[in-house]
Structure 1
Amino acid sequence: MFNYFKKSISRQFLFIMLFMFFLSLIGGGVLTYLNARIQNHYVATTQTLQQKQMLVDKISKHLNQVFYLSRGYYAFKDSAELNNLYDEIDQLNVALDQFAHLNLTGNEQKLVIQTKDFIRKYQTVTLPTAINYVKANNYSALQKLAASGMNTTINQFLQYTDDFAKESRNNVYKEQQIFLQRNDMLNYAEIFYVLLVLVLITYSIRRISLQIGEPLKDLTLASQQMAAGETITLEHTDRVDEIGILSRSFLQMVKVIQEKEEEMSAQNEELLAQQEELSDQQERLKQSLIETEFTKNTLLRHNVFNHALSTTLHKQELLQSIIENMTKIYHMDKAMILLLDQSQEFASIGISQNIAERILQSMQDSMIIRLQETKKTHVIKRTADLYELGFHDGTLYCYDMYTPIYSKDQKLMAVFISTRIGSPFLEEEIHEITGIMNQICLSLEKIYLYEETESSRQLNQDIIDHVNEGIQFVGIDGHLLQLNQKLCEFFQWDTPDQLQFADYAVWSQRIQQSVVNGESLLTFLENAIFSNQTYGHTYRYEVEQPDKRVINIYAESIFREEKKIGTLFVHRDITEEYEIDQMKSELVSTVSHELRTPLASVLGFAELMLTKEMKPERQKKYLETIYKEAHRLTNLINDFLDLQRMESGRQVYEQREVDLLRVAEEILESFKINHSAHQFVITNHAEKTEVQGDRERIIQLYTNLIGNAVKFSPNGGTIELSFCNADNEIEVKVIDQGLGIPEKDLPKLFNKFHRIDNSDRRKIGGTGLGLAICKEIVEAHKGRIFVQSKLGEGSMFCFCMPVDTSALQLKEPQSEHIHSEALQSKKMPVLIILEDDLSLAMLLMEGLKESGFHVLHYTDAGRAAEAIQSLLPEVVVIDLLIEDRMDGWSVIESMKKDPKTANIPIIISSALDEKEKGIALGANQYLTKPYPPAKLTTVILQTLLEGKQTGEIMIPSEDSFVKKAE
């Protein structure tokens, strides 16, 4: 076993380390165990003493309570005190039992027994006896009973409690002292143990140093002696480990080296002789290598120069390359090349900008003319300028060489100028440079041709890039040869260069990813590209990202010399045309349904009334139905006309202060009557609700939004109108709990004729114009409108308008309902109506006659003008469109020109929306057809009572029709 470790240093080191490790582990474990045992004994003893002290205090407390509660009962005969006394006795017994289970001394056990006996006796004998004395009011016997020893026993136990507390503290103190003494002893043992470990470690290090360090030191010294050629003093060792093996191997190696050294000395002398011969050969090879390297560098420069001439397609880059390579190859001190075209670009080296410009100016008058005449290289010998002399003294000559560069048609296209200081140009060099200039000529002509081609190509690319259609040219092998920017926009590509020259698999895959039903489009493309037939078909496809687009693609095969060279595809964005077609189809479908349905009812009920005899009640019911359907038709036509006027910019808005909150309250009152299944709520958080706007249009806005909320809440629910201010705006929200709107329909919700394609909503009906009208009204008031909705949970329509910051206080409009009884006491006023529609005229006359007017009706404008001149009526009602030589405008103008009729009130009743012109000509009121007949009577009575021109346009609202129907 010992020999096993002796043969290896690593094993010896491992043995020592393991011995130290186990010694440390055993010593540390023993010390840790002793420390834990001392601490556990101290903690257990201390906890027992503390527990005893706690229970003794608890017993003492309960005894005191028994003493005081018994006295309280004796004194006051309180049953509650007696119950508490019994509870304290029970708790005292529990505490005694807990104390008895502890590790007690003899005195403590004796005290527990005495106390339990006393309590048992007190509970079974003394207390019942005392209770009987109390009930019998025999307090003398009670005093004798108390003096029999109960108080003495309690006092004894209380005294024991104090003594036990003192004894417990003493015991705890003793245990602390014992614990500290044992800890001190354990600390001394740990210090001794650490010192022992340090001694052992020191011994181990010393042993390792002697076993390894000293032999290695001897080996190092022997190595140094061998390197210095001295005698080696290393002694032979009998160790069997690595050190012994290394020492013996080293001695053997020294012996072998000494033997070889003698042999090497002889060979070295022979090599020295060979080295001298090789040195001579090396000198000759070095000189040859220098010449070869010079030739290589020269050829390399020529090769680089020729490569630049053949590959460079940029003029300035070519000129700079010529200057750099020519100066290096022919050792020129300065050089410059100048193009004689319109650009006059040049490149130079060793020449400042000022000198270069001066050379350009001087050459135009002298040297260029000489070169054109001689067509040969010209060399000038001159004395060097001061800045060219440098550190030279005396005379120094410079040689300037001007080499022309001619095109194929012998036109001078450039000049190469070079200078050598102190060294002339040889004839051979001049001949070589002239040949190089011919190569430069070819490169320049190639660049000119490339620039012309590139200019044409860029022009063509610019043209197709600015075409509104996407252009795509594909070769017969499917490679994408050319495309424009518009095509990239269709498919969300960055630039045309991204896919130019890509093969069919790459660019077709990119197209397929962007197109709906891309497989069909790829089939169309493949047939157009890879078919040899003449192709001229079209195909329509859709692109969804980033916006939905409808694109029509046209394919045309391109032939050259009756051979197909590719296919041209033209992609045209027809989204607007497609949407217009869709809108037209939707319009036809909607209008045909919305018009035919009420018309069918009107015609049907009218036919019944004309062909059959029926009771007045049924006639009235049919008339009400006809009126309701006619009203529905009127609203539809009004929506079309309103939207057309708004979009064309002909809608006129009367700007005045309007309280949005008050208008909303009025609108909701009418909705509450007709829609009892809904609850209408207004929530107002706004301080200012007034805006500058057109009251009638705002009523129309409210009616459409609230009507939509009611229609699309078929199961009832709450319709809430919320008002708040933000950033000088009033924000009005119309919130319902209805069907909600699909997310895909939200962006198109305010488009004309847009209706949500859903059976639950289609059966509700509508033209799809209401929200488009709302948007036009809000934007005309410099506001904005938007919607938020979640399918199945309801919608929120919100519009914002700038609040009215002016301090205008407008008069409240007077009531439009004026009873006809106000004119009964006066003479019947004369009223003239100019109206060519006999049915409407008869309807208006009936209403006016019932109000006490004497009505004269004319269908001829000329006769009406004559009657006005002769009768001077109280009021004139004029229709503007009269099929006669004289229309309504002419009648108004003639009345205003005549002083007798100039002040007669004029009320215009027309389907034309020309209220500005009517007011300008002097009309008092302007009624837009259709309107309820009672509206005309009200306006006339109001005009007569006011006795002045107001110029107000009276346009009937939906409420007017409702009130008339009622």
Structure 2
Amino acid sequence: MPTKMRSIASNVSVLIFTTILLFAVFVLATGLTMNNHIIEARDNLELEMQDQALVESLYNDSQTVVSDLRAYLAFGRADFLTQFLAMRQTFDAKLNDISDRFQSRDYGEKFSNEWNAILKAWASYRQSSETVIELKKSGSMEEIENMSKTTTTSNVNDMNRNFQTIMSSQNESVQRWLDDNRKRTDMLILLPILVVTGAAIAGGLLVVYLRRKVIGPIVQADAAVNRIADGEYVQVALSHRNDELGRLERGINFMSGELRQRHVALKESNKELIDQRDLLEAQNEEISAQQVEQQEMLLKLTDRERELELITTYQEKLTGHVEIKAFLNHSVKALLQALHQDAAVLIAENPETSAFDVIYSYGYPQGALPSSYKELFGPSMRVLHEKQAIYRKRQLNADERGIHGGYDTALDQYYPLLDEYSHVIGMLLITSYGASEVDDTLHRLTKGLVRQFALAFLAQTTNEERRKQAYLLEELNEELSQERDSLQQQRDLVRRIIESIHEGMVMCDGGGRILFSNERMNEMFGFDRFSGSNVRDFCRHLEAGAPDKSQLGEFAEAVLNGTLEQVQERFTLALEDGREEHFELYVNSITDPIENTRSFLFVFRDRTNEEMADEMKNEFISIVSHELRTPLASVLGFMEILLNRDIPKEKQKKYMETIYKEASRLSNLINDFLDLQRMESGKQAYQHIPVNMSAVVRDVSEQWQGKQDHRIDTAIEPEVFVTADIDRMTQVMHNLLSNAVKYSPTADRIAVRVAKDRDYAVIEVQDFGLGIPEDAKEKLFNKFYRVDNSDRRQIGGTGLGLAIVKEIIESHHGTLTFESELGVGSTFRIRMKTYRATGMGGKVVIVEDDENLSKLIAVAFEKLNVSTVQLRSAEDAVLSLRETTGPAPLICIVDIQLDGKKLGWDFIAELLQHPVYRNTPVIVSTVLEPPKHFHETDTGKYLRKPFTIDRLLELAASLMEPAQSNPTVVFPVQDREAIATKLEEKGIHVTDLKIKRDIIEVEVKKHD
């Protein structure tokens, strides 16, 4: 049975529904995905900020503990000691609680080094504090001072440095989550735009599809029908569609052809009638007697003509059909009309089930015939075996009697359907209701027409099979095309994977003929000239350039012959510039189980970097061993002398000074190792503040003045500021001056210059010593690298100083360059962007080192259309205040503990001493308790963290409001009854009381 094609309406409905469904699924999935990401980022952000607040609280408590102990040591008051002991116990408990909390999360691994350092430093400080207290009680201040230099101060610095490292990492984590949340939110805003755009595109595509596939063909068919109605004979171009429009095109063409043929036939018939009329008129008198006979003959001719027209129509219905259903529907009905029969059924054997299927029926009551017969019997069976027509008269059942029940009998005519070789292909049963016998003429005519029908049915069936085969071939071709594309994609993917591998790869057959090589082989060995040759020749070529006399040619030969089990070989190649490259060769055997062939994959791996790493590791071990052993030997030697001999006090002091010096040297060496490791791993925390490099360079130069008989000549411009970590920049200058002094043993001076070059600060350190050889310049900043020649053998060092300098300068987004001439000297030059102060005039100034809180406050004020300035340090705020001109800042929100050495109080003091801006409102924002000497004023308020942004905005708005002509009296105590009573006693009548967070505003009568 032919497949039923879907209608245009069904196709359009499916298209619209599919488009809407896919679009809705896409929008819903996108929205849910983005919403889940935003929720996850928000939860992680809240968790990170909670942990950050805990660490900051713990850090502040440590500062309070240290301050209390120092206050006790300074003043000796018992209340300070009591406060210290209580605070120390509180700090112990909080430290243990936070440690347990962090261990339950990934902070135990994330900050394990810093946290362990804090615990260790605190334990040491706690133990030292007991000793210090006892010493204070006994009045041994010198011993306390010695312990401060050696133990307590270093413990406090270690705790502060590690706290700063953890808080810096937490700030970066919080910033990442904030940035991720902001990006997700911005993407979510774009979702409605994408929805509208997608809907517009889908609607446009649907309109284009309808205009092209439906409306256009209908307009074309309508024009053709109108032309046919006007008398033209039009042939519409067929689109070979299987829906209603395709059938309409074929119907229009068929109708036009039929009208043309009928018009020609009518013209011919009209011509014959005219001739006959003329003849009849000429013979009118002769045939008047035969008029009745002629009329009868005319009637017979008319009936014959009608029959011929029906037969012609029937024959036309036998051709021109694409689908077999249309063929049967038209041809069977035309056959019944031509034979004046009432019903027909077509039955053919199904080769798959061996049953006899009813292919088509017409004229029988609904349900009278089954869809298939398992077997045939009686006349049906005989007609298939005998291949002759059989007639049977039968009585009608109730359904076949017609509306009025006018028929009692029916004549069934069984005709076999034969092909051109007289093979039976089916059976056609024709029924005539009310007939009792078959006319011979009608029988002959029926046999001829049935014979034509059989041949047409066979041709149509063959075409149907061919059409189905064509569809199957088309589907098979599509599958083959998809499979070919898939194989092509897989081949391209494998090729890309092979080309992305860092190892060189060569495949050859069992005889060694090269079949394939990747681009890496050409980059490593210039392999293009060996493409298509034998792998043995290539290995022999490599063997010729190997200084270690490797036998690559014999190795390849043995692998190809199968006599070598080892499939790994290392070799070295000597380059023209004297360098050596190290490689490792692997060989894998690949067997094709289908063709039973064998091939080999040669893999060349570059080991040069590994060899260099091993060489650097050995050099590192050698340098570290030497540099560590030298001070350790001195320390152990002098300690052994002090322990085992009686030494005078003068020598004991001298030996102890030597031990201290060597221990300091050892400590500095270890610190250099740790600093470089932190810098390279990105864990070094920097406190970027405005730094006066003129003062830093001048101070360091004074410290090196006269060292090893060197004079430091300085040319320093005043007030050259950069944004940097002052401790790290001090370390940079010490390292550069140390190198300059060490590598100019025969010179007597060092030149140091600081100058401005437009927007850059330029710092130069020039020595007049040994200089740097050309072959050492490119390695100068490598770790542990030291120039090796006779002039430098007696100069100590680890080769870490310049590497640390370069890491620090690049972390500050600066550049470090040098110029050197052998035997003349070297000049090292640092370029960094100069610091630019930010104007504060007419803006809200936020002095806060917590970037998240600073940004949160800035966003809140910007929503009020107020400009803000965000500063991280008191140094930055002081410089910006000095550079500000014009209107005063609207308000200053100042934290106390900031990056850098200055506190928020330093900025506030600078602001209060300013001749123009000293009345600027200030809100002190901090986690610390207010000092005893602090009192709030009309322009100065104290806001302790944590606080809400609404509270901050409310307090800021009250400070920024202009003074009223009748100001409200503000009382610092929230007691409504006491305030009202007190004012009544003074003769002031209260009209309204407004309770706010920490004040009560009282409105009084105007005359009071």
Q: TM-score category by the smaller chain?
A: 0.3 to 0.5
TM-score normalised over the length of structure 1: 0.35
Higher radius of gyration, 1 or 2: 1
